[in-house]
Amino acid sequence: MRLRLAGAVLLSAAAYYVYLPLPSGVSEPWKLMLLDALFRSFLQLVSMLSSVFISLKQYIEVIEARSCAAVHVTDSTLGGVPTRVFQPKEGKQLKRGVLYFHGGGWALGSGRMRSYDRLCRKMAEDLDAVIMSVDYRLAPEAVFPDQYHDALAASRAFLSSQVLERYGIDPHRVCVSGDSAGGNLAAAVAQELSLDDTLTVKFKAQALIYPVLQALDFYTPSYQQNQAVPILYRPIMARFWLQYLGADSSLEPLLLANNHSSLDQPAISASARSKLDWTALLPPKRRKHFRPVVKETGSPGVMGEVPELMDVRAAPLLAEQGVLGRTPKAYVMTCEFDVLRDDGLMYVRRLQDAGVAVTSDHYEDGFHGCMVFAFLPMMSSVGQRSMNNYIHWLDQNL
């Protein structure tokens, strides 16, 4: 009897920890609740271990580079940056190429994680393409612009004649891609390299999966609507930004209040503000009933302390229209239940205004990170749909 009672208490406690009220439209809510519980537990473990100076990287689930019947898998380097390479064993002699940057808030994750390994294997096989998944340096040991420099170095090496010839990649069919923070790096690299006229080979496409693109406005409609929707909560995204930019974590409340982007900040021009003016860039369906939160006066010292907030290499949404107009055709995936939804949708609009061909792929039942949950044991319906549509776009446009 006591064992049953103890079991019931433990079960109730587990259910209480896992349960979270979710919007009615989100895909498979109980799976998302479980994912969220696991992610929260991981972050708590991260915090606890950090306090006793234990590295977190050893707890990331990485797997060995194992080849299979269809795909040859090896660990190598690109421009000095660790990279996992996926090469189809059959198919055409000259193949398409995709350079991929994983997500994780510039602080977590690895291209060698099981989820990314599976994604890249499937891409290599389905597309008959060489996929290179980059393991850029992570915060807090590395901060901006280290991650960006790693992404840029890997990209330049990927586009070099030596690498293209070695792996049999068609120089006319190369793409840069990434999800979340990796989407940020992919967008930044696409902008930078589009301006480099010394390159003989450039990316022909950019595929951005729920990218994070700005840190000036934490009150976009999607930040307001989804601030309590897992797995990427609004405070966690602010924390990731501060860690990435090497800033003091005590600034988090100021960012969350939009005090850092108040009207009395001389570093933020009217032109810069227009680049993320969601009242003009988002359609009414996404603006809904939400209102902008713009402070007349804020914390004037923040921009001086963290000038990287205005650096286009960190915040690609702030790029000039002339720069955007030189970037390759784009695919941008967004999810309704994601704080970063409007970053992606505003980037779609700005790219379109600059004359770039853009495919906007929006998932009304999607949540942040859904695409990497396309495989067992945490397979989700929207994860499978989004992954298949992403790969289909690459197949049709690369």
In this structure, the number of other CB atoms found within 10 A of the CB of residue 82 comes to 18
Q: Is the dihedral of CA 253, 316, 284, 358 positive or negative?
A: negative
Q: Clarify whether 50 is annotated catalytic.
A: no
Q: Return the amino acid letter for 367.
A: F
391 touches 122 (CB < 8 A) = yes
Q: Are 351 and 309 a contacting pair, CB within 8 Å?
A: no
369: left (phi over 0), alpha (psi -120 to 50) or beta: left
268: tokens are 């933020």
State yes or no: is 180 an active-site residue.
Answer: yes
Residue 95 has phi, psi (to 5 degrees) of: -115, 160
Judge contact between 97 and 175, C-beta under 8 A: yes
The Cα 138–Cα 116 span in angstroms is 16
Cβ–Cβ < 8 Å for 206, 328:
yes
Catalytic choice (338, 342, 361, 365) = 338
88 DSSP β-pair partners = 71
In whole angstroms, give the CA distance from residue 102 to residue 112.
9
Distance between CA 312 and CA 195 in Å, rounded?
Answer: 14
Rounded to 5°, angle at Cα 151 from 158 and 336? 110
Integer Cα distance of 37 and 230 in angstroms: 9
**Tokens matching residue 250:** 């005590």
From the list 183, 160, 196, the residue with the least C-alpha distance to 78 is 160
Beta-sheet strand order (sheet of 205-209): 71-78, 81-88, 129-134, 95-101, 169-179, 205-209, 329-337, 358-367
d(CA 299, CA 398): 46
Which member of 110, 180, 222, 386 is catalytic? 180
The active-site residue out of 135, 368, 380, 386 is 368
| Catalytic residue list contains 179 | no
Question: How many Å apart are CA 106 and CA 127, to the nearest integer?
Answer: 27
The rounded distance, in Å, linking the Cα atoms of 126 and 122 is 6
Catalytic amino acids?
180, 338, 368
